[in-house]
Amino acid sequence: MIDKRKIQEILEEYDPKELTIATVCSHSSLQIFHGARQEGFKTLGICLGRPPKFYDAFPLAKPDSFLSLDSYGAILDESDRLIEENAIVVPHGSLVEYLGTEKFERLPVPTFGNRRCLAWESDREMERDWLLKAGIDLPMRFATPEEIDRPVIVKYHGAKGGKGFFISKSKGEYLSKVDSSQRHTIQEFILGTRYYIHYFYSPIRSTGYALSKGTLEMLGIDRRVESNADEIFRIGSMDELEAAGIFPSFVVTGNIPLVLRESLLPKAFELGERVVEASLDLFGGMIGPFCLETIVTDDLKFKVFEISARIVAGTNVFIGGSPYSDLIEKDLSNGRRIAQEISLARDQRRLLEIIS
C-alpha cells in the first residue's frame, strides 16, 4: 500500500484550482467525466491504445485529454504524467480489475476514497466478517451438503461473472449437480426481489443522514440484468433446461432502474449506517459511493449478499438523476456527487480526508 504521507506530499504540490479527475475509460466513466465537468473540473481518460471513439457520441462526457497505455500495468510508469495534471483518480470496478489489486494499492497518485477498503471488499471472508461485524443479515452458508435444508446457490471460487454458479432446491439436487473437485461455497438462496442500493458516505458534508462522523445519502437503486438467468425462463424451467443441457448463468449485462417501498427506507438507511460505522472501526472508513446488494423477502426483510465499496455500474441508469437524488439536488448523478465531494474537500482544505 502506498504510504499516505507520500500521497499527502503529492497533494501539497497540486494546484487546487487545476485539479483533474481521471479514471479508466469503462464501467461508469461517462458519468464520472460528465459529473466532473458539471462541477468545473478538467477530466482525463485512461485507456489502452487509442482513445475510445464512443466518447465522440457523448460530448458532455468526453474527457478533455487521454492517457493512452500499452497495458494497464504501465500506469505505474505514467504516474508522473498524472501528477503533472493534478490528477485525482476515481476508482471503479473495472479500474481495479484491470490494474489488479496490488498495483492499484501502490499506485503513487492520489485516488478518491480509502484504498484500504479494497482488501476488505475483495476477499469473501473479510467481506463477510465486515458485514457480520456490522450486524447485517446475510444469507447462511453451509459447510457440508448434509446441512442443506433449503434452496442454495453454489458458487465456484474464482468464477468470472457468475458463470457455472448453479441453484439447487435440495440436498439431492446439489449432489447431482456439483463438481466437487472445484472449491465452492454453498450459500442459502434467498427468495425475494433484488435491490442494489446506491449510497454515498461523506466524512465532510454536514447535510444528510448523520453518522458518528459525517453523513450518509442514498442516490438510487437499480436491479442488475443477468445473462442468461433473467430471460431463460422464457424457454423453460431449470429442470426442463437442464434436461436439454442448458444452464443458467449470471453475467451482468446491464441495469434497470427501480424504487423501493418507502416504508423500507428506514431499514435501508440503517443498513448503510451499520456498514459505514463498521468500516470506520475496521479500516478508517469507506469513503464516497458504495452499494449494498440486497434481497427483499416477502416478509419485508433485507438480506445483504454483497457489498461494493465504490461506484457501481448500476448508477449509470441515473446519469440524469434518480427519484432519490432528485430530492437532494436536480440532475445529481453519482459521478457528479463524487466531483462535489472533491470540490467541497478542496474548498475546506480537507482533501486528505477523502483521498488515499
Residue closest to 183 by CA, chosen among 124, 224, 252 = 124
Query: Is residue 327 part of the contact set for a second copy (CB under 8 A)?
Result: yes
Query: Is residue 221 part of the contact set for a second copy (CB under 8 A)?
Result: yes
Q: Which three cell numbers stand for residue 41?
A: 473540473
CB of 48 to a second copy, least distance (A): 11
CB of 108 to a second copy, least distance (A): 26
CA 179 to chain centre: 30
Query: Is residue 311 part of the contact set for a second copy (CB under 8 A)?
Result: no
Interface pick for a second copy out of 215, 284, 306, 344 (rule CB under 8 A):
215
Query: Is residue 284 part of the contact set for a second copy (CB under 8 A)?
Result: no
Q: Contact 274/135 with Cβ under 8 angstroms? A: yes
Q: Could you tell me the strand order of the sheet in which 42-48 lies?
A: 65-69, 42-48, 20-24, 87-89
Radius of gyration over alpha carbons of the chain, in Å?
21
Q: Which three cell numbers stand for residue 76?
A: 505505474
- Cβ proximity to a second copy: between 146 and 299 the closer is 299
Residue 27 assigned as binding residue: yes
Q: Contact 22/90 with Cβ under 8 angstroms? A: yes
Query: Is residue 175 part of the contact set for a second copy (CB under 8 A)?
Result: no
Residues in contact with a second copy, counted by CB under 8 A, come to a total of 98
Interface pick for a second copy out of 324, 339, 341, 345 (rule CB under 8 A):
324
- Cβ proximity to a second copy: between 10 and 75 the closer is 75
d(CA 321, CA 127) in angstroms, rounded, equals 30
Span of 68-76, 166-174, 274-282, 338-346 interacting with a second copy by CB under 8 A? 166-174
Interface pick for a second copy out of 13, 56, 70, 125 (rule CB under 8 A):
56
Query: Is residue 334 part of the contact set for a second copy (CB under 8 A)?
Result: no
Q: Which of residues 235-254 bind a second copy (CB under 8 A)?
A: 235-241, 244, 246, 248-249, 251-254
Query: Is residue 114 part of the contact set for a second copy (CB under 8 A)?
Result: no
Interface pick for a second copy out of 76, 140, 264, 282 (rule CB under 8 A):
264
Interface pick for a second copy out of 80, 123, 147, 329 (rule CB under 8 A):
329
d(CA 216, CA 123) in angstroms, rounded, equals 25
Interface pick for a second copy out of 60, 74, 132, 175 (rule CB under 8 A):
60
Listing DSSP states for 191-218 in one string gives -SEEEEEEEEEESS--SSEE-SSSEEEE
Residue 157 assigned as binding residue: no
Residue 249's φ and ψ, nearest 5 degrees, are: -135, 165
Q: Which of residues 68-87 bind a second copy (CB under 8 A)?
A: none
Can you say whether the dihedral through the CA atoms of 173, 250, 337, 354 is positive or negative? positive
d(CA 199, CA 288) in angstroms, rounded, equals 8
> Which one-letter DSSP state was computed for residue 92?
B
Query: Is residue 225 part of the contact set for a second copy (CB under 8 A)?
Result: yes
Residue 255 assigned as binding residue: yes
Residue 94 assigned as binding residue: yes
Q: Under DSSP, is residue 219 helix (H, G, I), strand (E, B) or coil? A: strand
Query: Is residue 232 part of the contact set for a second copy (CB under 8 A)?
Result: yes
Interface pick for a second copy out of 209, 305, 343, 352 (rule CB under 8 A):
209
d(CA 35, CA 61) in angstroms, rounded, equals 8
Cα pseudo-dihedral 221, 227, 228, 233, rounded to 10: 20
Q: Which of residues 33-52 bind a second copy (CB under 8 A)?
A: 34, 52
Binding residue ranges for ATP: 226
Binding residue ranges: 27, 94, 226, 255
